[in-house]
Amino acid sequence: MNVDVHELVRLRVHHPEAIAQAAARRPRRPLTGDSGRLMIVAADHPARGALGVGDRPLAMADRADLLKRLCLALSRPGVDGVLATADILDDLLLLGALDHKVVMGSMNRGGLAGAAFELDDRFTGHRPEDLARLGFDAGKLLLRIDYDDPGSLTTLEAAARTIDAMAALRLPVFVEPFICRRTPDGRLRNDLSADAVTRSLAIASGLGGSSAYTWLKVPVTENPDDMAEVMAASTLPAVLLGGDIGDGPDGRTGAFEKWRGALHLPTVRGLVAGRSLLYPADGDVAAAVDTAVGLL
């Protein structure tokens, strides 16, 4: 699909209402098909200032290039939808790329990558009422918990109230939990040990007054063989977090093999991957997406 930036800007300047109109007439679909599986492409990284891919610190900074990659990914057979912030979803609406796709809004992007307040994941993106008004299909929230940071209690409470609001609107919410820690030099690191991921799933599963519309978005642990035991911590449906696939074909193959094993577990219903599919080391977006779809 051709991305005409001049036309997008013209519409935004002269016809901002075109975005709401495109959302209103967008043909919708169920969250999952008959298979109950999901393949979602993620592109909500830029709103946290996380623009780097591999050794390219500003790879995602070119919006026209990102939109082209997204449109290509969404056109591939088996891709169910996209996870993104309002600015990107608005562009995709204007491009007509979201028809018959699952549209998932990214809700808390306040924890900017590398900032001293990175763990203060405030809800600066879509609100539940925005998702309902636009006819979107789900929301996603990031839940990072540092046992040494008292502010994590505020994050937990905000996440719980958002889960309540989404349940009241009967909108699925995908919760992406991590146990985190600060390194001696102040950098934030996610703990991907089996113990930490298990605890994060148990905590996330219990948030809010109802879990009826809660899904989990789960990273593969450091040792993929631990995933069966980890996923036994909850009966909530889950999707795997894609993460980075590393440089070169060996890195990509290794990541796909990690996903393959976990995708056979009973609560795992799909995959949400972003930079690993949109910016593969060999540049072949279609091949990376098709390989991921094949795992499902």
Q: Bridge-partner residues for 42, per DSSP?
A: 83
For residue 1, pLDDT over 80 is answered with no
**Which CATH number does the domain 5-11+38-295 belong to among 3.90.1310.10, 3.20.20.70, 3.50.50.60, 3.40.50.261?**
3.20.20.70
Q: Which tens digits make up the pLDDT trace of 232-267?
A: 999 999 999 986 555 444 445 567 888 888 999 999
The pLDDT confidence band at residue 151, using thresholds 50, 70 and 90, is very high
Instruction: Please determine, for residue 137, whether its predicted confidence score (pLDDT) is greater than 80.
Output: yes
Confidence (pLDDT) at 284:
96
Which tens digits make up the pLDDT trace of 179-196?
A: 999 999 999 999 999 999
pLDDT digits 0-9 by tens, 193-226? 999 999 999 999 999 999 999 999 999 999 999 9
pLDDT > 70: percent of the chain: 96
CA–CA distance, 89 with 97 (Å, rounded to integer): 9
Dihedral Cα 246, 222, 253, 113, nearest 10 deg: -30
Q: What pLDDT is attached to residue 258?
A: 84
Give the pLDDT confidence of 76-131 residue by residue, as tens digits: 999 999 999 999 999 999 999 999 999 999 999 999 999 999 999 999 999 999 99
CA dihedral 249, 253, 259, 260 (to 10 degrees): 150
State the chain's mean pLDDT as an integer: 94
Cα–Cα dist 285/241, whole Å: 18
pLDDT digits over 14-29, tens only?
999 999 999 999 999 9
Measured distance CA(199)–CA(178) in Å, rounded: 9
Strand partners, 239: 217, 270
For the beta carbon of residue 155, count every other beta carbon within 10 angstroms: 23
Mean pLDDT of the region 163-183? 98
Q: How long is the chain?
A: 296
Q: Which two tokens stand for residue 208?
A: 């809010």
3-state DSSP of 30-49: CCCCCCCCEEEEECCCHHHC
